[in-house]
Structure 1
Amino acid sequence: MPEQYHSKVHENVAKFGFHITYVMEDENGPSFCYSTGLYKSYQIPEVFLSGLPQSLSFSLVADYAKKYKENILKVNKKINSFSEDFEFPVYFIEVEKEKLNDYDYASQHFYGNENYKCVQLIYPDTTGKFPNETGYLYNQEIIGKLIS
């Protein structure tokens, strides 16, 4: 990533408390999105999600930041009304930051040798099924361990 991009990340974290990076789908896998700066600004884990369009991904990351900078994040528990704008259940799973080495370059650069935590937002398909359920229809890349 060019230094100009890293400067923008630092600028957005200083101004808004976090930065959002979105990477388009390619032959190597689905699109993905992640935050940088939430752990430093609000002491909440950075969030990663995959397989959703850019505008929805940005909205979900922003909603996550807004909700959990003032509330306790519960992992491995379904949340039925996570966002006012999107009425579908989600849950968060913990992700070891090392498992994101091929994804969160901006966060790696931003934090350097500092420690930070990460979670992945897990969402259902249009039929309400989650990735660990038979018949799940989406191409969501799972980095952490799914709940049973």
Structure 2
Amino acid sequence: MDRQMIENVRTHGWGVINVPADDVGPGWSFSVGLWHSHRSPELAMFGLDMDVTQPVINNLGREIADGRAAADGQERHGLINDYPIFLKQVDPGWYRTFFGSAMAFYQRPPLPVIQLVWPDLDGRFPWDADTAEGYQAMQPQAWLARDAHPPGVWTQA
């Protein structure tokens, strides 16, 4: 585990790790330390630029630190312009693929992780009909077991 991340957790209660997009697929960001400091699930957000995902995770982290719990099934507003974000519990089968640094910090799973699911420009989520073309590939449906996830870039890892 990176010393800077440990210092961030010690000083701020959590830190954010950014995994940049590459030729294979979109990037993602996730928190490390919210479970340690606040007994809150870690947060993960996929498919948007890190200039968006990191502040969203930090802003929600501050809400958690102020006592507003984050839980599966919640809809949150005010984190990305006028768009809602839906919170979904990540299936543990995805942990090694996406959250290796968090697992190294805690030195063992399970730790709860919540995916911050963002809608397409028309406000539709992955589980809604008629989402925008290309939207489905931007973020995994990590609340599903890996073998139940539709084939695509996220299941190739």
Give the TM-score normalised by structure 2. Answer: 0.80
CA distance in 1, matches of 2:113, 2:74: 16
CA distance in 1, matches of 2:109, 2:71: 23
One-letter code of the match for 1:129?
R
Percent identity over the alignment? 21
Residue 11 of structure 1: how far off its partner (Å): 1.2
Task: Could you tell me which runs of 5 or more consecutive residues in structure 1 were left unpaired when the two chains were aligned.
Answer: none
Deviation by residue 1:40-80 (Cα, 9 ceiling, x = unmatched) = 0111100111001111101110111111231132422333x
Structure with bigger RCO (C-alpha 8 Å, 6+ apart): 1
One-letter code of the match for 2:26?
P
Task: Could you tell me which runs of 5 or more consecutive residues in structure 2 were left unpaired when the two chains were aligned.
Answer: 145-157
Q: Any conservation in 1 of the 2:71–2:114 contact (CA below 8 Å)?
A: no
Q: What's the counterpart of residue 36 of structure 2?
A: 40
Q: Any conservation in 2 of the 1:120–1:143 contact (CA below 8 Å)?
A: yes
Q: Number of aligned pairs?
A: 139
Q: Any conservation in 1 of the 2:87–2:114 contact (CA below 8 Å)?
A: yes
Deviation by residue 1:8-63 (Cα, 9 ceiling, x = unmatched) = 21111111111101111123321111000000011110011100111110111011
2:30 maps to 1:31: no
Q: What's the counterpart of residue 140 of structure 1?
A: 139
Q: What's the counterpart of residue 68 of structure 2?
A: 71
Q: Identify if the C-alpha distance between structure 1 residues 11 and 136 changes in structure 2 by more than 3 Å, giving closer, same or farther.
A: same
Give secondary structure in 2 for the equivalent of 1:47: strand
One-letter code of the match for 2:98?
Y
Give secondary structure in 1 for the equivalent of 2:121: coil
Mapping of 1:52-63 within 5 angstroms? 52-63=48-59
Q: Any conservation in 2 of the 1:9–1:106 contact (CA below 8 Å)?
A: no
Give secondary structure in 2 for the equivalent of 1:119: strand
Which stretches of structure 1, 4 residues or longer, exceed 6 Å deviation after superposition?
A: none
CA distance in 2, matches of 1:97, 1:40: 18
CA distance in 2, matches of 1:75, 1:45: 9
CA RMSD of aligned residues (A): 1.8
Q: Identify if the C-alpha distance between structure 1 residues 29 and 100 changes in structure 2 by more than 3 Å, giving closer, same or farther.
A: farther
Residue 114 of structure 1: how far off its partner (Å): 5.7
Give secondary structure in 2 for the equivalent of 1:102: helix
